[in-house]
Structure 1
């Protein structure tokens, strides 16, 4: 198993900088809570320990509760722990992250569209796509979580 993989952000820092700029622009359109929840959920689905650690820490720093963070992997069974808006965002995250041959269902898309205006929905979809990109780069590069 090769452990000396390319750290993409160090080899193409200009790309990392541009992606970070896009991330910052998207954050202007979405609540930080929703943003960190979808980033955490996608990272869990993609098996990206580095990003799970990063977004858990960021969410805690922003005031998110441990209970809600612990329940992100099973959000669909957590009842009213998550708001309808958050549940719609998490459902869209699940379908965009695990995109099967039929893509995102009309039901899931329509539910998200009920809770987010068009600009927010566009930002949400873009943020989900971005975290999937980051997850794939981190997993492929085998970024490891540092023990604290």
Structure 2
């Protein structure tokens, strides 16, 4: 894979729009660990190496989350590693990212609502959609870990 072009320079307006969306999403999910878990799981599903690398490193800056990073793809098979709240959010991230496979079931929605208000639910949806957008930009422009020089 090779970087096709630097999307930030090629279309500053589009990049600024994404930064605004990111600012909203990051400012409305107060649990930064949960926010990074969303970004990691969605990036895995979408196959975005650039974002997966970035957000795994960002999560490690928040503490020792090596086990969570290593096992997040199989979160549902590792009892006790993720909280009930984190499991519900990871399932939501998968359901929204793979929306064509049935969407968000009423059962999942009910489990999310145990932990989150309607407003917080929408904030989670915005966070999930934001990382999906970043993944699509990164993959479409050929981004990979270290493509801008630092790794």
**Do both proteins adopt the same fold according to a TM-score greater than 0.5, normalized to the shorter chain?**
yes
Output one character per residue of 1:107-126: Cα deviation in whole Å (capped at 9) or x when no partner: 11221122112221111001
Instruction: Write out aligned runs for 1:11-50 (5 A).
Output: 11-30=10-29, 31-50=31-50
Superposition RMSD in Å: 1.8
| Aligned counterpart, 2:102 | 102
Bigger RCO of structures 1 and 2 (CA < 8 A, at least 6 apart): 2
Distance in 2 (alpha carbons) for counterparts of 1:13 and 1:64: 36
Contact persistence 1:36–1:55 (CA under 8 A): yes
Structure 1 position 4, deviation (Å):
5.8
Cα deviation for residue 14 of structure 1 reads: 2.4
CA deviations over 1:14-69 (Å, ceiling 9, x no partner): 22223222222222221101100000000000000000000001111122411111
Q: 1:122 to 1:4 in 2, by over 3 A?
A: closer
CA distance in 1 between counterparts of 2:40 and 2:64 reads 12
Tell me if the contact between 1:29 and 1:123 (Cα under 8 Å) persists in the aligned partners.
Answer: yes
What secondary structure does 1:28 align onto?
helix
Unmatched 5+ stretches in structure 1: none
Distance 1:105-1:20 versus aligned 2 partners, 3 A rule: same
* Conserved? CA contact 1:33–1:64, under 8 Å: no
CA–CA distance in structure 2, aligned partners of residues 42 and 83 of structure 1: 18
Look up the match of 1:84: 84
Partner of 2:9: 10
Of 69-78 and 33-42, deviating more is: 69-78
Checking the alignment, whether the CA contact within 8 Å between 1:41 and 1:90 is kept in structure 2 is yes
Map of 2:117 onto structure 1: 117
Q: For structure 2, list consecutive stretches of 5 or more residues without a partner in the other structure.
A: none
Q: TM-score, normalised by structure 2?
A: 0.88
Deviation at 1:9, TM superposition (A): 2.3
- What is the CA-CA distance between 1:8 and the residue it aligns to? 2.3
